[in-house]
Chain A
Amino acid sequence: DTAVSQTPKYLVTQMGNDKSIKCEQNLGHDTMYWYKQDSKKFLKIMFSYNNKELIINETVPNRFSPKSPDKAHLNLHINSLELGDSAVYFCASSQGSGRVYEQFFGPGTRLTVL
């Protein structure tokens, strides 16, 4: 199936740990995003990469570090996890940037920090 996929779907961890979430898209898109959806369902963009180059970097703690090894992959590494990091993280992709392109979202990764 052509889609945006994320692993893992669920992640439960202790405060202070370091964890990574992986995202892959096989839609041939060259722009990828990370969004955070909090417990009130509010969606906010965190990062955006276009052709492996960081183009959007919102006010996110530097404990969060995205990495794009190639156009089809965008990973999110989180250091020293805090309780407030608990949320659903969505990866998305689009055909490009700088113009209106539909964003396709992955199924999300529910992160719970204990």
Chain B
Amino acid sequence: QQQVKQSPQSLIVQKGGISIINCAYENTAFDYFPWYQQFPGKGPALLIAIRPDVSEKKEGRFTISFNKSAKQFSLHIMDSQPGDSATYFCAASYLEDDYKLSFGAGTTVTVRA
């Protein structure tokens, strides 16, 4: 069964807008939460990651917000650009599982110029 639930399945945003993707998990053992970005015809690439000891991490226009009590985390893409159009995957992993990545179902983001 899917250990990480991701929504929405797809979203369309205007250039300059904010894209928000949400993920939820049940396994409280998870202690590493990366986001991967995948362009069509390419492999996924790590975008940004967070550990549960912080509530927010920002890298450029990309921010992860983490709510440990709610077991939810989200990716915000600020000032969305057409080049951000891609599929985004959240994932989670933990030490006792050898940090095996459990991926969400993915969100296809389309940024309209």
CB-contact partner of A105 in B41, B45, B49, B106, under 8 A: B45
Contact status A43-B98, CB under 8 Å:
no
Give, as a whole number of angstroms, the nearest-CB distance from A30 to chain B: 13
How large, as a class, is the contact surface on chain B? 20 to 34
Contact status B99-A107, CB under 8 Å:
no
The binding surface of chain A is classed by DSSP as loop
**Neighbouring B residues of A44 by C-beta, 8 Å:** 103
Contact status A4-B43, CB under 8 Å:
yes
Contact status A100-B99, CB under 8 Å:
yes
A4–B95 alpha-carbon span in the complex (Å): 25
Of the candidate stretches A14-22, A79-87, A90-98, the one touching chain B is A90-98
Contact status A56-B87, CB under 8 Å:
no
**With A42-B106, A43-B103, A44-B103 known to touch, is A90 a contact of B98 (CB < 8 Å)?**
no
Give, as a whole number of angstroms, the nearest-CB distance from A53 to chain B: 12
User: Considering only CB atoms, which chain B residue lies closest to A105 in the complex?
Assistant: B43
Contact status A48-B98, CB under 8 Å:
yes
CB pairs A–B below 8 angstroms (7 shown): A44-B103, A98-B95, A105-B43, A105-B44, A105-B45, A107-B42, A108-B41
